[in-house]
């Protein structure tokens, strides 16, 4: 029960890695509050988490919604011990599509803006709202979802890679700025992970992902949740500003 009575927020907690993380922290005794924009899935996850859990519908890209959520949580629980910035979206596409000397397509600006607003600005919004709470109470843990592609880059993911690389940079900055308040800030970089979205991909693609992973399998969402749990625990009390790869040994592009 390493998280006994720790008030833990998980953004994008309705499904996938967010759901696995919320459940894993609850197993260790945490009071888990999830937010998401998918109300049906989130309500089901909250039910699985038990009576002490709560769900709020929050768009992390909306500063006003985020601040209202944090204010309500603090009013109810008087503290926030852990924030897991998990919420994210994908809108993959090539920077340009060029055929026979002609530009035939490119990544839409709206797709770039959406991914950055959720994956990067959303992390900024939630962390900036939570940091004063943690500073006043004398400490806390902020954990940010990045990706191996934020470290290695990836074909067709300009917007996603930009957002995830930005998260790594913010993690390093906040570790330096917030350490004096007893706040630790780290990031987790998952590799190919068998979430509901990935599981729906064609078998040929899944086999290709496994073949590119030295350990020969896809990650389970619980693998990522365990990494968050470790970084949130006292066992990681001298770790801050780091990005932990949980990827089965893959190097993207090889």
For residue 254, the model assigns a pLDDT of: 47
pTM: 0.94
Regions of the chain where pLDDT drops below 70: 252-254
Q: How far apart are CA 17 and CA 15, in angstroms?
A: 7
Ramachandran quadrant class, 185 (left: phi over 0; alpha: psi -120 to 50; beta: rest): beta
In a domain, 241, yes or no: yes
Q: How far apart are CA 151 and CA 245, in angstroms?
A: 9
In a domain, 128, yes or no: yes
In a domain, 160, yes or no: yes
**Total count of domains within the chain:** 1
Active site residue 77: no
In a domain, 82, yes or no: yes
Give the closest residue to 192 by CA, choosing from 220, 167, 166: 220
- List pLDDT tens digits, range 216-240: 899 999 999 999 999 999 999 999 9
Give the closest residue to 12 by CA, choosing from 113, 119, 162: 119
Find the CATH number of the domain harbouring 235.
Answer: 3.40.50.720
Among the listed residues 56, 77, 160, 228, the single catalytic one is: 160
Can you give the residue range of the structural domain that contains 180?
7-246
């Amino acid at each position: 029960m390493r998280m006994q009575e720790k008030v833990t927020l998980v953004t994008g907690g309705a499904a996938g890695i967010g759901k696995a993380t919320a459940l894993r922290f609850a197993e260790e005794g945490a009071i888990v509050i999830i937010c998401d924009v998918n109300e049906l899935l989130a309500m089901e996850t909250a039910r699985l988490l038990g009576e002490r859990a709560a769900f709020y519908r929050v768009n992390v890209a909306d500063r006003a919604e985020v601040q209202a959520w944090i204010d309500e949580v603090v009013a109810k629980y008087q503290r926030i011990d852990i924030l897991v910035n998990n919420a994210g979206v994908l809108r993959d596409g090539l920077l340009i599509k060029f055929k026979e000397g002609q530009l035939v397509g490119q990544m839409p600006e709206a797709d770039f803006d959406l991914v950055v607003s959720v994956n990067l600005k959303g992390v900024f919004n939630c962390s900036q709202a939570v940091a004063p709470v943690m500073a006043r109470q004398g400490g806390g843990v902020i954990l940010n979802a990045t990706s191996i592609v934020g470290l290695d880059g990836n074909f067709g993911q300009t917007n996603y890679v930009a957002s995830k690389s930005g998260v790594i940079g913010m993690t390093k900055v906040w570790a330096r700025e917030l350490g004096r308040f007893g706040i630790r800030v780290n990031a987790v970089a998952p590799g190919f992970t068998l979430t509901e979205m990935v599981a729906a991909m064609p078998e040929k693609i899944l086999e290709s992902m496994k073949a590119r992973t030295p350990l020969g399998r896809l990650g389970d969402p619980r693998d990522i949740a365990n990494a968050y749990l470790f970084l949130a625990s006292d066992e990681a009390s001298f770790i801050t500003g780091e990005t932990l790869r949980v990827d089965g040994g893959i190097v993207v592009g090889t």
